[in-house]
Amino acid sequence: MSGGPWGNTMAIRELLEDALQEPEIGTTPRFRWHATPVGIAALWSGGGAPTAPPFDMALEEGLQVGLDLSREEREFHQVKSGLVLLFHS
């Protein structure tokens, strides 16, 4: 296993790529929602890429699919499928 932040980021991206191939747990106007081994992933599907990670939009739309993510840690990743907002404890 590789150490350091780059190795960890690559492992997370690979896990996300695999998890995004599975059926989503919900859809909202701007996101497809997935349960992944590293947390809840919100895959941006709202058209053109946002200028900043749209965490506020994701928090609002997460409630539409029964997900209160307001207390979760947040990070974002660019993967082959697009922009992913990741929420985890």
- Structure confidence by residue, pLDDT tens digits, 16-61: 999 999 999 999 999 999 999 999 999 999 988 888 999 999 999 9
Residue 2 has pLDDT above 60, yes or no: no
Q: Domain range spanning residue 74? A: 4-88
The average pLDDT across 75-82 equals: 94
Q: Kindly compute the dihedral angle of the four CA atoms of residues 59, 27, 23, 51, in this order, to the nearest 10 degrees.
A: -60
Predicted TM-score (pTM) above 0.85? yes
Q: Count structural domains, the chain.
A: 1
Q: Is the pLDDT of residue 68 over 90?
A: yes
Cβ proximity of 38 and 12 under 8 Å: yes
